[in-house]
Amino acid sequence: QKLPTRDEELFQMQIRDKAFFHDSSVIPDGAEISGYLFRDTPKRYFFVVEEDNTPLAVTVTPCDAPLEWKLSVQELPEEASGEGSGDPEPLEQQKQQITSEEGTELFSYKGNDVEYFVSSSSPSGLYQLDLLSTEKDTHFKVYATTTPESDQPYPELPYDPRIDVTSLGHTMVTLAWKPSPTASLLRQPIQYCIVINKEHNFKSLCAVEAKLSSDDAFMMAPKPGLDFSPFDFAHFGFPADNNSGKERGFLKSSKFGRQTPPKPRVDLHRVCIGNKNIFTVSDLKPDTQYYFDMFAVNTNTNMSTAYVGTFARTKEEAKQKTVELKDGKVTDVFIKRKGAKFLRFAPVSSHQKVTFSIHSCLDAVQIQVRRDGKLLLSQSVEGVRHFQLRGKAKAKYLIRLKGSKKGASMLKILATTRPNKQSFPSLPEDTRIKAFDKLRTCSSVTVAWLGTQERNKFCIYKREVDDNYNEEQKKREQNQCLGPDTRQKSEKVLCKYFHSQNIQKAVTTETIRGLQPGKSYLLDVYVIGHGGHSVKYQSKLVKTRKFC
């Protein structure tokens, strides 16, 4: 075992395989080493400074536990000074020669901060670094150099190393920080990595990696692009985001290149964002305290420096107002995109059954009904649906309505303890209007639609539209809750009653006359219930023949 020196050719040869130093007691000059300490078992490292008045810097980084460490120096034996003939003595022989002497203590520290010993003029000698962990088995990192001015492997912090919270919402926090002079002045390749968790701030990226991985995966030689990959945030309450690569949301990637055995998930996540100096963390939980740490990482050396971490509590969600439903009365409900509304129904009298009728005007909505806290119903509703539930004396019902992801939702809801009092008309499963192509003329079209076993009133309306009227425009007009009262009288064709006890025969046809040749018309059928509430069938676009 030769003593490492700063002779460049020899130095490069010695650190070619850095793994060689992991179990060695020698600290190479100018290379960071990783080590492991068993609890209450001290570990000693050595390095040599061959000349007096040599600059020296030693950095010790605790990973997942506080460390006690001490740096001391002993005089080199004559023959090991490097001035005699031949190569330096083997390290074991030198250690044996000085075991009887106590070194001079230069520096000691106890804690979990990244701590430095820096001297512009150090004496020659054999330097000893003693480390001890009294709390638990732990990882650590050590870096020593005799050329601190030219090395600068750790990114430098700006004069104000704090992270600022520039914006705070219910589910997002925007962070800003000043750039590292290593990037802005020295033009070194620096990227910033943000760490988010709910427990505490971290003082080193090493501590973050130790928390993320209980094995030695992070001790392997770092692989750019893998070691600093963004993480999948789904299990943390961050929904998976398909818009990967966007600044305002988290990205999605694999955690490590190497597969590790399954272990308990930790609420700790890291995302690296390149050299930006502002970032919005989104999809957080409301009214929750988060801790944010920022690390500047030199992508050439993979060594990092921690900014001063911060914490912030996301804003509390506004308390949901609960709408009271009255027995037998239709209530209109508007829900924002991805939003939710809460309704309460407390029947005055005792009841055997309760009926909830829902009419979703646009897209499907989710309904949940709880009776005195117990979940009775959870369904997706499109169009008109009726749900009959068993009643209970003095019961209170809580209804949660969740809107569509596509856009805002509108619906009508009716709760009643009198099942025969139906305000919403019954509908067939198929609410399309069918047009008969062979029966088209220059002035008329013939259409058909389905009814039910219940006698209802049907009204048909027509409206002339441009030839370029398309499905997208038709979709925008598909609000099923808009009734005939919103239509002009001139658009009305007729109203009629019909039903059939045989559901297979509950079909009616109608010929609409007085149309113009070669023109397009939008046809609408409304079914009107006993309570006057109407539901619109799906609109139908028809066109008369141009030549007859």
| Cα–Cα distance measured from residue 467 to residue 264, given in angstroms and rounded to the nearest whole number | 61
Residue-wise pLDDT tens digits, 249-299: 343 333 334 444 455 556 788 999 998 999 999 889 899 999 999 999 998
Q: Which residue has better confidence, 116 or 97?
A: 116
In 352-491, the DSSP E strands lie at 353-371, 374-390, 397-402, 409-416, 434-435, 445-450, 456-465
Tens of pLDDT, residues 57-70: 999 999 888 999 99
- What pLDDT does 520 receive? 93
Band of pLDDT at residue 91, cut at 50, 70 and 90: low
pLDDT bin (cut points 50, 70, 90) of residue 96 is low
* pLDDT score of 278: 93
Q: Give me the pLDDT at residue 424, please.
A: 79
Predicted confidence band at 194 (pLDDT cuts at 50, 70, 90)?
very high
Identify whether the C-beta of residue 454 lies closer than 8 Å to the C-beta of residue 425. yes
Q: What is the per-residue pLDDT across 467-478, written as a single tens digit (0 to 9) for each?
A: 887 766 666 667
pLDDT of amino acid 422? 65
Is 518's pLDDT higher than 70? yes
Query: Half-sphere exposure of residue 295, counting CA atoms within 13 Å on the CB side?
Result: 26
Name the least confident of 168-177, 307-316, 318-327, 521-530.
Answer: 318-327
Per-state percent for the chain, helix, strand, coil, to nearest 5: 10, 40, 50
Examine the pLDDT at 229 and tell me if it is beyond 60.
no
- 90-101 mean pLDDT: 51
- Residue 498 token pair: 């019909």
- Chain segment 10-58, per-residue pLDDT in tens: 444 444 444 444 445 888 888 888 899 999 999 999 988 888 988 999 9
User: Which tops the pLDDT comparison, 546 or 471?
Assistant: 546
Q: How far apart are the first and last CA of the chain?
A: 105
Would you say residue 142 has pLDDT above 90?
yes
Q: What is the pLDDT of residue 226?
A: 37
Residue 232 has pLDDT above 50, yes or no: no
- Work out the mean pLDDT of the chain and round it to a whole number: 80
Looking at residue 511, what is its pLDDT? 94
Does 433-543 match 154-216+266-318 at the fold level?
yes
- How far apart, in whole angstroms, are the C-alpha atoms of residue 511 and residue 254? 62
* Res 23: pLDDT: 47
Residue 367 CB partners (closer than 8 Å, separation 6+): 356, 358, 377, 378, 379, 380, 381, 387, 399, 400, 401, 402
Confidence label for 102 from pLDDT (cuts 50, 70 and 90) = low
Q: What number is the average pLDDT over the span 329-347?
A: 88
Q: What pLDDT, on the 0 to 100 scale, is given for residue 492? A: 93
pLDDT at 42: 92
Q: Which CATH architecture has domain 323-416?
A: Sandwich (2.60)
What is the spatial distance between Cα 324 and Cα 336, in angstroms, rounded to a whole number?
19
Give 124: exposed, middle or buried? Use CB within 10 Å, 0-12, 13-18, 19+.
middle
Tell me what pLDDT residue 31 has: 84
Task: State percent of the chain over pLDDT 90.
Answer: 34
What is this structure's pTM? Answer: 0.49
pLDDT at 461: 95
pLDDT band per the 50, 70, 90 thresholds, residue 247 = very low
| Three-state DSSP string of 22-60 | CCCCECCCCCCEEEEECCCCCEEEEEEECCCCEEEEEEE
- Please compute the mean of the pLDDT values over residues 408-425 and round it to a whole number: 81
**What confidence score (pLDDT) does residue 14 get?**
43
- CA atoms of 537 and 520, how far apart (whole Å): 19
The CATH class given to the 154-216+266-318 domain equals mainly beta
On the question of pLDDT at 382 being above 90, the answer is no
pLDDT digits (tens, 9 = 90+) for 340-370: 899 999 988 778 888 898 888 888 889 999 9
Question: How confident is the model at residue 61, as a pLDDT?
Answer: 92
Residue spans of the domains in the chain: they are 1-76+103-151, 154-216+266-318, 323-416, 433-543
* Higher per-residue confidence, 256 vs 533: 533
**CATH, range 1-76+103-151:** 2.60.120.380
Residue 24 vs residues 15, 32, 36, 59, 445: alpha-carbon distances, Å: 12, 13, 12, 18, 92
- The topology (CATH level 3) of 433-543 is Immunoglobulin-like (2.60.40)
pLDDT score at 309: 92
Q: Give pLDDT, residue 20.
A: 41
